[in-house]
Structures are given as C-alpha cells and as structure tokens.
C-alpha cells in the first residue's frame, strides 16, 4: 500500500488506494491485508473524507524546541499530551470555523501518526510495527481560551479545529521530512521533523504506556515555530514532504 484515503458516495463510505489521482476501492480491513479493485472507481459524486475515523486524537505540545521558545515555555522532559475531541476533525477542503472572532485563533501545521494495530506498552524500537502511516494535520488553537486555562482540550477541540488528510502515506520515513504551512500563499512555518524533541517512535511508545492505542487512532506530533493568527477568508496549506498537501479555508 501507499496513499490510502477514505471516501463517500451517497450513503456509502469506503477506503481506497490513491494512485496518480485515481481511486482504487479497497476490499477488506484497511488495517489488515486488504485487496484492491483493479479498475479505478468513477470520480463522479466522490467526496474525500478524513482518511481515518479514530476513537481518539492525542495531541503533543511543545515538541519542537523553536516553538517552545516562541511560546516562552521550558522544554518538556517527557511528551506533553492531551486529548482532542474526534468531532473536531475536518477533511481536506473543509472550512475552519472560528467560534469566537474576538479571540486570537492560530494555525499549527503538524505531522500526524495513524496507528495500524492495537498497541499497549510497546518499546520505541518496536513502535514502527504498530504504525499504519502518516498524514498532514493542523491543531487549530483558540489562544484566548488556552491562556486562561490550565489544560488545553477545550481551546483545541472546537468543531473543525483538527484538519486531517487528505490521505495516509503508508511507506514513508518520518524522521527527516520538511514541514511547511502557507497562509494565503505566504510561507509561515518552515521546519523539518528531525527537529522533533521526541520522535514518532518515542511518542507511540510513551503514549502506549499510558493508554491503549487502537487502529485508526491519531497522534499529532507537535508544531514548529511560526504559528500565527487566522481570520475569515484565509487559505491554509500544509505541505509535508512525501504527503499530499492539506488545504483548508477559514470562515
């Protein structure tokens, strides 16, 4: 497998492999050993959904040293994690809705890990075996609420606050990928996953010692420096090397 997406036509939702823009329907469990149709499905009426429907989204904070500095926060000694509501998910092409226009609300480009197998208490050296793949994401954040509370779930869990997708890339090394965010065509964030304080395998290991991870669960690995405010009419594009770009607008 390579790029895997989740699609809807009418009332039917299905997984498929995406090759050169064509969609080949998946037969069987996407996290098992599925087969694929040899002929592409017709594009008419096809809607791209978030690539997975997780039971939970785990976000990681301050995982790039430069972002910790711009946030005036000390470097964490272990991963700083919290849960985001699954109802905050937003597909590629969807509109990010700002619930409180008077608040500062920021973009945050992130690489997301998608879990492929049930996992509990795995070591970092074995973590790769439990990862289905990687996709682009954002952790949209209401800074006004975040700065006034000791935990961050509410500030980051509003509907549409977790853009994810469009596809999961199953064959990629996550350890040296450029990660960028463009706001209305202007480069705002520009870094590389080699700058992560805790890499992807470490994160899966650490989180799995605290909770069981299930197939389709998503881990947002943190954002680099350069975060900034969004406003209605913005076009936000996350580009991560080897992944399809994630594009959303703001209203």
DSSP 78-107: S-EEEEE-GGGEE-TTPEE--S-TTS-EEE
CATH of 3-48, one of 3.10.20, 2.30.30, 2.170.270, 2.60.40: 2.30.30
DSSP bridge pairs for 119: 213
Of the candidates 250, 231, 228, the residue with the CA atom closest to the CA atom of residue 96: 250
Domain boundaries 57-250, corresponding CATH code: 3.90.850.10
CB 230 within 8 A of CB 237: no
pLDDT digits 0-9 by tens, 41-73: 998 999 999 999 999 999 999 999 888 888 888
pLDDT of residue 66: 84
pLDDT digits 0-9 by tens, 145-185: 999 999 999 999 999 999 999 999 999 999 999 999 999 99
Instruction: Indicate the domain borders of the chain.
Output: 3-48, 57-250
DSSP bridge pairs for 3: 169
Q: Average pLDDT for residues 18-47, to the nearest whole number? A: 93
Give the model's confidence band at 113: pLDDT under 50 very low, under 70 low, under 90 confident, else very high.
very high
Q: Taking all residues of the chain, what is their mean pLDDT, rounded to a whole number?
A: 96
140's CB contacts (< 8 A; 6+ apart) are 96, 105, 106, 107, 108, 156, 158, 160, 161, 162, 163, 230
């Amino acid at each position: 497998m390579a790029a895997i997406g989740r699609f809807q036509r009418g009332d039917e939702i299905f997984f498929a492999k995406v090759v050169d823009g064509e969609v080949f329907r998946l037969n069987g469990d996407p996290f098992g050993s599925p087969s694929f149709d040899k002929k592409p499905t017709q594009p008419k009426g096809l809607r791209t959904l978030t690539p997975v429907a997780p039971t939970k989204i785990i976000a990681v904070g301050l995982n790039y040293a430069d972002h910790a500095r711009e946030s005036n926060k000390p470097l964490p000694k272990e991963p700083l994690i919290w849960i985001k509501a699954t109802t905050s998910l937003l597909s590629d092409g969807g509109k990010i809705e700002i619930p409180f226009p008077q608040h500062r609300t920021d973009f945050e480009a992130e690489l997301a890990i998608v879990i492929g197998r049930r996992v509990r208490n795995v070591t970092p050296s074995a973590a790769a075996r439990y990862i289905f793949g990687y996709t682009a994401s954002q952790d949209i954040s209401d800074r006004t609420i975040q700065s006034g509370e000791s935990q961050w779930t509410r500030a980051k869990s509003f509907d549409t606050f977790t853009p994810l997708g469009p596809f999961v890339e199953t064959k990629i090394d996550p350890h040296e990928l450029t990660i960028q965010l463009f706001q209305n065509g202007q480069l705002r964030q520009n870094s590389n996953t080699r700058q992560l304080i805790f890499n992807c395998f470490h994160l899966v290991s650490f989180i799995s010692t605290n909770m069981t991870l299930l197939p389709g669960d998503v881990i947002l690995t943190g954002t680099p420096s350069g975060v900034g405010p969004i406003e209605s009419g913005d076009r936000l594009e996350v580009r991560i090397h080897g992944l399809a770009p994630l594009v959303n607008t703001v209203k």
